[in-house]
Structure 1
Amino acid sequence: MWHNSQCCFCDVMPVTATAVPRRPVFPFAAIVGQDEMKLSLLLNVIDPKIGGVMIMGDRGTGKSTTIRALADLLPEIEVVADDPFNSHPSDPDLMSDAVKVAVAAGEPIHTIKKKVPMVDLPLGATEDRVCGTIDIEKALAEGVKAFEPGLLAKANRGILYVDEVNLLDDHLVDVLLDAAASGWNTVEREGISIRHPARFVLVGSGNPEEGELRPQLLDRFGMHAEIRTVKDPTLRVEIVEQRSQFDQNPEAFLAKYQAQQEALQAKLVAAQALLPKVTIDHELRVKISQVCAELDVDGLRGDIVTNRAAKALAAFEGRTEVTVEDIARVIVLCLRHRLRKDPLESIDSGYKVGKVFQEVFGVEIAT
């Protein structure tokens, strides 16, 4: 029986001890503040079709720590053993062609459990390193498709993190966004074509002082979170103390947050299962589109992503109907990066989205 799910993390099981000792990762449940970033990441895990997150903000605000913590929080997934693409043993949308052929032939499929992959894309990566390469000489000499998988293969069913994405070559960003949107990576060379599943949550981060992404690329990220350095001295002390405790005794610190981690993990699993049942009233969908129209948002991505994010939030809260409050919590994250930039305007784009939302829905967004 095929298992066809909307989410690349859906086949999840309780965390089990792994034989190989892993480096301790700061627990997601212990991260203080940065609510926009945490909410955006969690919603993308519940529904990867939201289209990823662009995180813009100051240096040293815990972007990398949070993303690694999220990957570590997620339950282990079942993958086909010795498969470079983390193929799903029963979902054809998440299988490599070789596994599909083996399944169709009735061959036994051996599986293993592994942590959700978290792949860091280095700034200087080449297209071959990202997409993979075809060994033409071997293909011609031996008549086989010799493919060396790239980072997109490793990221299948996981998280692909690109730090300083605004400094990455535009062509590479395009490749990443295309793969994230389609769920497949295709490599073609000298008439030979190979494709494999590449279903991942794309997370980009950057510092706006070092340059913005082109609007055409920025628009293709599902959500946009802004993070700032914490100003409250008490909160800063709490963050520093937590980090010190973790560095001094990681095991004790992890044990302290284990119950919260397990509760959050169970909440994510439940949300993924509930998501297909979540509905959004027609009137609310019309109002979302009215907000997008009044903000002069190009295309329909803003409408689609806001609907998806609101549904994911309702599922996360354990509900099957989207409320106005759900929309209020996600609409700025989904639309602020889609507004046309006026260099002479000093008004924050998030404020503009909130103002129009209030006019259309008659509800103020809580700050």
Structure 2
Amino acid sequence: MILTINHSAIRPIFPFTAIVGQEDMKLSLILNVIDPKIGGVMIMGDRGTGKSTTIRAIADLLPEIDVVVNDPFNSHPSDPDLMSDAVKLLLDSKKSIDVIRIKVPMIDLPLGATEDRVCGTIDIEKALTEGIKSFEPGLLAKANRGILYVDEVNLLDDHLVDILLDSAASGWNTVEREGISIRHPSNFVLVGSGNPEEGELRPQLLDRFGMHAEIRTVKDPELRVKIVDERSQFDRDPQFYLNKYYSHQVNLKQRIMNAQKNLATINLSYDLRVKISKVCAELNVDGLRGDIVTNRAAKAFAAYNESQQVTLDHVKKVIVLCLRHRLRKDPLESVDSGLKVEKVFSEIFVDNV
């Protein structure tokens, strides 16, 4: 049996398609939604540039998902990689399960969160006295099959960032205490944001984010007025404003769903893969994560544009977002890292055509 939730009482969210500017941020979020294996997005920029608004808007845009009723991990009713052990046991014993359709979870991780709050806790007393594994799920459980948003991630303790990145990469969270171990699915898109003036992430942690978008305060007075006017219209009459953008939202949602469906069929030629790796080598990018993420993002962008074949233009659009944050920092260097990526890309891709 499939149930649905009435969303009419939920506070309205500013529509994603109404957000003006910040194209790099919006594209990075869309591509990660199409292919969560890209590895998340790190968004660095000035205060008041719409980071939180945009992230909540992309979550609200996504199609609803089927989850098992009363399951704390948002378990998928049929995919073993996205369901808890309890649900697997029910299915193995041929018992019926109720399914409910919900909006994609959007979980905020507060800056002062403890490790127990993030990972969950095991009730040792109940385990020892009653022999029962009692687990209080944390934020990683609630974020399964959704988006986990960490504002001011550059101010978060490094060991918590490590935990988040490990769970995002593996799709599972393991909690161990006093010889008792519990594992549950934790497959989510990790989105971090921060202001570079308040400190940078360590390079080895920054490298673990799939894409990196840098955003700046809009300088054009006319564009600033347009942004303020759009927000004022939404605040004055949210329902009228949502109706105004309804068709745009539906079209983008369908475009994302089609891209998710077609992603596995997208072809990235050997020649383009070699050139991507040449760019990474020329830029002295450590490891192979840059190559892998660029390949994935280029395929996701091709799928988003309804193309079966990745082209040079697709690679050009995503490569800066995938490699900018992986370059070694030279304190004496004045050239922007994004410009360095563009220069090497042009030398290898364009000049050799």
Cα RMSD after superposing both structures: 1.2
Q: 1:178 aligns with which of 166, 170, 176?
A: 166
Tell me the residue number matched to 2:141.
153
> Paired residue for 2:238?
250
Counterpart Cα distance in 1 of 2:90 and 2:265: 33
Alignment of 1:45-84 (within 5 A): 45-84=33-72
Contact in 1 for aligned 2:263/2:300 (Cα 8 Å)? yes
Q: CA deviation at 1:363?
A: 6.3
Distance change >3 Å, CA 19–CA 43, structure 1 → 2: closer
Query: Do the aligned residues in 2 keep the contact of 1:357 with 1:363 (CA within 8 Å)?
Result: no
Per the TM alignment, residue 320 of structure 1 is displaced from its structure 2 partner at its CA by 1.1
Other-structure match for 1:358: 346
- Tell me the distance in 1 between the aligned counterparts of 2:79 and 2:347: 44
Matched with 2:121 is 133
**Which of the residues 23, 28, 34 maps onto 2:16?**
28
SS at match of 1:276: helix
CA contact (8 A) 1:117 1:159 kept: yes
Q: Could you tell me which residue of structure 2 aligns to residue 234 of structure 1?
A: 222
What residue is the counterpart of 1:6 in the other structure?
none
User: Paired residue for 1:87, among 68, 71, 75?
Assistant: 75
Encode CA deviations 1:115-134: one digit per residue, 9 max, x unaligned. 00000000000000000000
Distance 1:260 1:249 in 2: 18
- CA deviation after TM superposition for structure 1 residue 21, in Å: 1.2
Specify the alignment match of 2:272 in structure 1.
284
- Secondary structure at 1:78 match in 2: strand
TM-score norm. by structure 2 comes to 0.98
Structure 2 Cα separation of the partners of residues 187 and 85 of structure 1: 14
- CA distance, structure 1, for counterparts of residue 340 and residue 235 of structure 2: 41
The aligned residue for residue 6 of structure 2 is 18
Q: Hey, what's the Cα distance between the residues in 1 that align with 2:97 and 2:217? A: 49
2:317: which partner in 1? 329
Q: SS where residue 17 of structure 2 aligns? A: helix
Q: CA deviation at 1:19?
A: 5.3
1:266-277 alignment, distance < 5 Å: 266-277=254-265
**What TM-score does the superposition give when structure 1 sets the normalisation length?**
0.94
The answer on 1:114 being equivalent to 2:102 is yes
**Where does residue 8 of structure 1 map in the other structure?**
none
Task: Decide whether aligned partners of structure 1 residues 46 and 174 sit closer, same or farther in structure 2, where only a CA change above 3 A counts.
Answer: same
Unaligned regions of 5+ residues in structure 1, if any?
Answer: 1-12
Asked whether the 8 Å contact 2:278–2:348 carries over to 1, the reply is: yes
Which one of the candidate residues 311, 314, 317 is aligned to 2:302? 314
| Structure 1 Cα separation of the partners of residues 351 and 141 of structure 2 | 44
Q: Deviations over 1:115-162 (max 9, x none)?
A: 000000000000000000000001111111000000000000000000
Alpha-carbon distance, 1:42 to partner: 0.1
Displacement of 1:20 = 5.6
Aligned partner of 1:213 in structure 2 is 201
Identity among equivalent pairs (%): 74
Gaps of 5+ in 2: none
| In structure 1, distance between residues paired with 2:347 and 2:206 | 26
Write the letter of the residue equivalent to 1:109: I
**1:268 is aligned with what amino acid?**
I
In structure 1, how many angstroms separate the alpha carbons of the residues matched to 2:180 and 2:349? 53
Matched residue SS, 1:139:
helix
